[in-house]
Structure 1
Amino acid sequence: MQGFTVTQQKSLEAEFPLQVGAASLKITPPIGSVMGNSYGMNISEGIHDDLFAKALVFDVDGVKAAFIALDLISLPYGLVAETRELIATQTEIPVENLILTATHCHAGPQMNPRFLKNIGGEAEKKSLEYLKQLPEKLLKAIQMAEASLQPVKASIGSFYEEKVNFNRRFLMKDGSFRTNPGRLNPLIKRAMGPVDPLGSVVLFETTDDRPLAVLVNFALHPAIVGGNQFSADFPGVVSQLMEKSFGEELVTVYTNGNSGNINHIDVQNNSFLEQYEESARIGTILAADVMKALSSRRPLEINSLEVARMEVAIPIPNIDQQKVIWAEGILDRFGKSSPPNFGDVVEAWRIIDLKSVNKERIAREQYTTTVPLKKDGNAILSEVQVMGFGSELALVGFPGDAFVELSLAIRLKSPFTNTIVCEQSGNGNISYVPDRKAFLEGGYEVNSARFSPGGGELLVEGVQKLLIDIFYD
């Protein structure tokens, strides 16, 4: 019987070269820890719905790679670095063959050490302990997925959705540019950019047609739910509805496309639902879109797996030491009884993230989640990643809260039949990633950006080079 099993496995691998393992692991922080969006500092009082790490491990002819999506707002550099170190020592997956991505949900844990310090007390202790344990949890999720590797069939579908996603940057009648200027604002002239209506759905099924995992990608800011209860927002709703349809064993890996300038607010409509109701509405619409896409999916022929990554040094503006002192004072007051105005907080956080320090990585991680600077202090060291499955599918790990124009440019010039861009990836947080045009317009996203004009395009060029390299390898 044992010999038969081995022979059968070899024949399956010949017929189905791609092996996939999938796992889902709960990563909800403890109640009483600090939560919120990028700048949020609420102490959590409950759990509306759990946060998860969703892991996929791939193997084609001995080449292994892993992809893991996290219900977090972003990826702290330290989290990525520590997780990669664990993967390198405790799995058979090369560290360079790992892509981590965050869904960018805004009702997850606050991870900025500076903001946690401002809260202090038991809430800070709980948050720091949670963050300390997170790399081990991610390792466990990947190990669980690796242990379940099996030959699979892969297929892909797509959908077009334009009723829930809107560009949030507007040209006003006075010539200024504003982010989210308000519903029915009579001073709005027009939106200043496109949306990406394309959603992608990749289904992995066992050889006996049992759904194992589905990867969903759509570009929409998961910034609907706030408050003081943890929630995965509408990506969590999509996952819940997929499990109801296919069973709890299905692992739904939701990934966010570039949506730094895309959200759910229709400024032409003053009728809307609040938070959880709106999140449920949008999640239900997208889940229905996914189901329709699956009904017309087409098979993927995957005979090879190629993975590559590239460090991209992005130039930054000069930071004056006097501005650093000012910024330290602003952030010290943030979250206190007489807080500074929000615009000053945005500027101060950007300055602190870009100050040069001649210390080890661990020292930098005491005040920022942002990727390191070059030794000369003139650039931040970001990263792009690609994972190519044959010639028909590529997954792209793109850093930051990136503008939709950048992923549209990547897809336009990709040699792969299907290219799925996942933001909030790479080697860690870099905040907003506007395109060059936006720097001429200004606004919140540009004020938040950690780099000089053209940095987003440098990242796109890096992705395009990697895609061409692995396609023609």
Structure 2
Amino acid sequence: MILLGTHRAEITPPGPTYLAGYASRSALGPAETVLAPLQLRTFVLGGRDEPPVVIVGADLLWWGEELVQALRTAVRADFGIPEQNLVLHATHTHSGPQTCRYMAPSLGKVDPNYLDHLRRTTLASIEAALGERSPVRVEIGRATADVSVNRRWARTAGALPNTPIDPELTAVRFVDESGRSRAAFVHFACHPVVHHGHAFSPDFPGALTTELESDIAPVVMYLQGCCGDVNPDMYTPDGLFRDGAEPEIERMGQDLARTARTAFGAAHDAGPPRIGVSRAQVDLPVQDRVDTSELRRLAASEDYVGEWARLMLDHPDRFARTPVLDMVRVDLSERLRLLGMAGEPFSRYGLHAKRVSGHTCLPMGYTDGMTTYLVGAPHHAEGGYEPDEAPYYLGMPARLAMSAERVVLEAITELVAEPVHARTARSVTNP
């Protein structure tokens, strides 16, 4: 058995704060309405004689890189936990506050006071979870959910290919010596974008976890999969998305909860516990950058490209540097591991990770920061928001090169396949 400690805390902004996720809301000002509270859940896992692994899951769009580093430094200083043993994951709700400073302001303005509030709340949650550890074993079950769709296919009314997405929901339960469920993970891949309104909401992951915390386990963390090209199946035949409010959010949460209960009902032992962490950094190849004179010309524009150009001029170091994709592998047992990526991966990356791991890996985006959409080579040729526009909103120095797909797939294969050596890290550099 392994030791597990858990804690849950609310991270809803205490006052009016800009939402992140939709540029269309940028002119509405700070949000004040709360449809449902945003939550942060902490799992501390490990043996008695080794530094624990800390996994924090939060109802955020993503974690900003500066905040990630600040928290890593703090867990080492405050708790003696190695920096690489802290894993920060986001559900990717589009109705939470922005945490990244170096993105287009129209995607959500950062509130420094909220970042400090989030940092303090996260550290307090980790401290509380560290004090609540007890032995557990790990169980895993799977089921198929019929609530999602390839959004590039759906929103173009079939003009783009309907490439495969991952409909599998995986349920992981941590069971104590008396047979009681102490905590659980639910892993699924779908954008939390049921809600488009001007209010705070954890979207369907919040409805799902709240529902399961009533009967499955006291603390349930949602793990967001590779959902860059996956939305809820709420499109009209002509490609319009029918966004919803609380009733629609609750309905999708309940639909997924039923699937999750099926998966929990089929859960079986996940094998001997084996806690370990391994990390990799992958240089992401990008297309040619524009020159400084072109940046100055673009900066006069009032659209998202102008925002991007002004951001690059203000931060020339970010414009010049090679984007790096952080990846982390966390082993929970001999037949279960997590793979986190600091980007927004399309389904092809998650399906690849599952395949090369022998279906023992749960691939996750939005972990330990955010770079850009990890699109596939075919999507570059197809064009559209994810390969062409999103890099500007996300503060990339240029769009990804076609070779990025090969680089990332190879890095996933290598990281998933290698034996875990606790507290090790390495880099993958492109030739």
**Fold in common (TM above 0.5):** yes
- State the partner residue of 1:131: 115
- Residue ranges of structure 1 left out of the alignment (5+ in a row): 1-15, 171-178, 334-339, 360-371
Give the C-alpha shift of residue 282 in structure 1.
Answer: 1.0
User: Are residue 33 (structure 1) and residue 17 (structure 2) matched?
Assistant: yes
Note closer, same or farther for the CA distance 1:251–1:393 as it changes in structure 2 (3 Å cut).
same
Q: Quick one: which amino acid aligns to residue 92 of structure 1? A: G
Note closer, same or farther for the CA distance 1:96–1:273 as it changes in structure 2 (3 Å cut).
closer
- State the partner residue of 2:222: 254
Match of 1:320 among 263, 284, 291: 291
Give the C-alpha shift of residue 421 in structure 1.
Answer: 0.9
Measured against aligned partners, the alpha-carbon deviations of 1:241-287 in whole angstroms (never above 9, x if no partner) come to 1122247xx11100111111110134449896723222111111001
Q: Quick one: which amino acid aligns to residue 402 of structure 1? A: P
- State the partner residue of 1:212: 182
Q: 2:419 & 2:177 partners in 1: Cα distance?
A: 28
- State the partner residue of 2:73: 85
- State the partner residue of 2:379: 438
Match of 2:328 among 385, 388, 413: 385
Q: 1:444 & 1:78 partners in 2: Cα distance?
A: 26
Give the C-alpha shift of residue 111 in structure 1.
Answer: 3.6
- State the partner residue of 2:64: 76
Give the C-alpha shift of residue 293 in structure 1.
Answer: 0.9
Q: Is the 8 A contact 1:36 1:226 kept in 2?
A: no
Name the SS of the counterpart of 2:187 in structure 1. Answer: strand
Q: Quick one: which amino acid aligns to residue 299 of structure 2? A: E
Note closer, same or farther for the CA distance 1:310–1:118 as it changes in structure 2 (3 Å cut).
closer
Note closer, same or farther for the CA distance 1:389–1:33 as it changes in structure 2 (3 Å cut).
closer
Q: Is the 8 A contact 1:433 1:456 kept in 2?
A: yes
Match of 1:141 among 103, 109, 125: 125
Q: 1:304 & 1:136 partners in 2: Cα distance?
A: 30
Q: 2:18 & 2:315 partners in 1: Cα distance?
A: 27
**TM-score normalized by the length of structure 1:** 0.79
Q: Quick one: which amino acid aligns to residue 404 of structure 1? A: S
- State the partner residue of 1:169: 152
Measured against aligned partners, the alpha-carbon deviations of 1:162-197 in whole angstroms (never above 9, x if no partner) come to 3x1000113xxxxxxxx723xxx5xx3464311101
Match of 1:290 among 256, 260, 280: 260
Q: 2:339 & 2:290 partners in 1: Cα distance?
A: 32
User: Are residue 424 (structure 1) and residue 366 (structure 2) matched?
Assistant: yes
Q: Is the 8 A contact 1:388 1:470 kept in 2?
A: no
Give the C-alpha shift of residue 210 in structure 1.
Answer: 2.1
Note closer, same or farther for the CA distance 1:255–1:323 as it changes in structure 2 (3 Å cut).
farther
Measured against aligned partners, the alpha-carbon deviations of 1:291-332 in whole angstroms (never above 9, x if no partner) come to 1111110012233222111111112221321332244334xx
- State the partner residue of 1:304: 274
Note closer, same or farther for the CA distance 1:440–1:234 as it changes in structure 2 (3 Å cut).
same
Q: Quick one: which amino acid aligns to residue 262 of structure 2? A: K
Name the SS of the counterpart of 1:84 in structure 2. Answer: helix
Name the SS of the counterpart of 1:80 in structure 2. Answer: helix
Note closer, same or farther for the CA distance 1:116–1:44 as it changes in structure 2 (3 Å cut).
farther
Q: Is the 8 A contact 1:155 1:202 kept in 2?
A: yes
Q: 1:435 & 1:313 partners in 2: Cα distance?
A: 16
Q: Is the 8 A contact 2:105 2:307 kept in 1?
A: no
Give the C-alpha shift of residue 227 in structure 1.
Answer: 1.7
User: Are residue 56 (structure 1) and residue 56 (structure 2) matched?
Assistant: no
Name the SS of the counterpart of 2:69 in structure 1. Answer: helix
What is the 5 A alignment of 1:305-384?
305-317=275-287, 318-330=289-301, 333=302, 340=303, 345=304, 347-348=305-306, 357=315, 377=320, 379-384=322-327
Q: Is the 8 A contact 1:157 1:296 kept in 2?
A: yes
Q: Is the 8 A contact 1:385 1:463 kept in 2?
A: no
Q: 1:203 & 1:158 partners in 2: Cα distance?
A: 11
- State the partner residue of 1:202: 172
Note closer, same or farther for the CA distance 1:313–1:271 as it changes in structure 2 (3 Å cut).
closer
Q: Is the 8 A contact 1:37 1:106 kept in 2?
A: yes
Q: Quick one: which amino acid aligns to residue 3 of structure 2? A: Q
Name the SS of the counterpart of 2:214 in structure 1. Answer: helix
Match of 2:402 among 453, 462, 466: 453
Q: 2:225 & 2:382 partners in 1: Cα distance?
A: 23
Q: Is the 8 A contact 1:105 1:232 kept in 2?
A: yes
- Residue ranges of structure 2 left out of the alignment (5+ in a row): 423-431
**Larger Rg computed on CA atoms:** 1
Range 86-95 or range 227-236, more displaced: 86-95
Give the C-alpha shift of residue 36 in structure 1.
Answer: 3.5
- State the partner residue of 1:5: none
Give the C-alpha shift of residue 65 in structure 1.
Answer: 0.7
Q: Quick one: which amino acid aligns to residue 282 of structure 2? A: V
Q: 1:225 & 1:321 partners in 2: Cα distance?
A: 39
RMSD of Structure 2 on Structure 1 (CA): 2.7
Identity of aligned pairs, percent? 22
Q: Is the 8 A contact 1:324 1:351 kept in 2?
A: yes
Name the SS of the counterpart of 2:371 in structure 1. Answer: coil
Q: 1:251 & 1:19 partners in 2: Cα distance?
A: 15
Give the C-alpha shift of residue 117 in structure 1.
Answer: 7.0
Note closer, same or farther for the CA distance 1:262–1:382 as it changes in structure 2 (3 Å cut).
same
Q: 2:402 & 2:200 partners in 1: Cα distance?
A: 35
Q: 1:273 & 1:109 partners in 2: Cα distance?
A: 19
